[in-house]
Amino acid sequence: MNRFFLSLIGFVVVCASGVAYASACNESTISIQISDEIRGPRVTSLSKVSDPGYQEFARTITSHVERLLQEGGGCSGKESNDSNLVFVRSPLVQSRPVEPLPSSSGESAFNGCRLSSPWVDFEFDNSSVPKARGVIRWSQRQLLIDQALIAGDIKIADAGTAALSDGEFERYTRAYVHSEIYRKPSATLLDSPIPPDILWLFRHSWQSTRGPFSLGVMGAMDNLMERGAERYADLVVRLIDQCVSSGQGELRYESILDLKGAVPLDKYKIESLL
């Protein structure tokens, strides 16, 4: 009897796991586009992302959205439910044209939540078969602005998030080296001052001219991105959860300071770039 009972238990467990697997999201449930403007072409598979940190960033967020769809019944028996996520990693210095990003669907019959923020634009349709669409931005310039705001070194995010041109970056680094490292009284004057987030990056980079200062700055920027990937994946997941749990309506954030009280800002602070 005991042997029969154990066999029956095993049969039930196997069947239950089979049902769970049948309702789980698969790779084709969500259409994915991953663009890396720093290095690498646009791809449609996580396995083809060349940078491990960026790959894990996109994987964490994609897996979370898949779970949300699965919990809402958006994956059962469906190879695709028109859900899509677009990931874009943007550099601080851009030397090639930027491809335009898709906008939200704006469907008139939409029934769910919409989220607008510097890091993610997302919508979750609470129809009988839920759908998720989003554009997730992993921007070097935005990361600088966020960190300078959290540190209190700048008060408002008025610098803009557009990447610098090669010429702008060269002028800013040259002016900084002359004025703050060499301390030359006749430092090069610029038509416009160094943006506050760029100045924050310069001051948190290695203050040396043994090699090109610009290389040290870009090294500090790379370190910041590497240390921020896990933190910012968590931030995007939290914002998506806020949207979905709200049911219907629109959430809008303009800067990371708008999140004070909603998320623990200290968790996203990166202490050192060196």
Distances (CA, A) of 91 to 16, 88, 158, 236: 47, 10, 19, 19
Predicted pLDDT of residue 73? 74
The DSSP secondary-structure symbol of 149 reads H
What is the per-residue pLDDT for 161? 86
Q: How many domains does the chain have?
A: 1
| Close Cβ partners of 72 (under 8 Å, ≥ 6 residues apart) | 126, 130
pLDDT at 29: 75
Burial 70-106 (b: 16+ CB within 10 A, else e): bebebbeebeebebbbbbbbbbbbbeeeeeeeeeeee
Q: CA–CA separation, 208 vs 215, rounded Å?
A: 11
| pLDDT (0 to 100) of residue 102 | 57
pLDDT, position 19 = 34
CB-based contacts of 266, cutoff 8 Å, min separation 6: 150
pLDDT for position 154 = 83
The bridge status of strand 131-139 relative to strand 120-125 is antiparallel
Distance between CA atoms of 249 and 152, rounded to whole angstroms?
A: 31
In one-letter notation, the amino acid at residue 241 is D
Task: Confirm whether pTM is higher than 0.95.
Answer: no
For residue 119, give the DSSP letter.
S
- Owning domain of residue 208: 1-274
CA dihedral 38, 64, 62, 273 (to 10 degrees): 10
Pairing of strands 249-252, 120-125: unpaired
Kindly give the confidence (pLDDT) of every residue in the chain, 274 residues in length, as a single tens digit, with 9 standing for 90 and above: 444 333 333 433 333 333 333 345 655 678 999 999 988 789 999 999 999 999 999 999 999 999 999 887 766 554 556 899 999 999 999 876 666 555 555 555 678 999 999 999 999 998 888 899 999 999 999 999 999 999 988 877 666 789 999 999 999 999 999 888 887 765 555 556 889 999 999 999 999 888 899 999 999 999 999 999 999 999 999 999 999 998 888 999 999 999 998 889 999 999 888 8
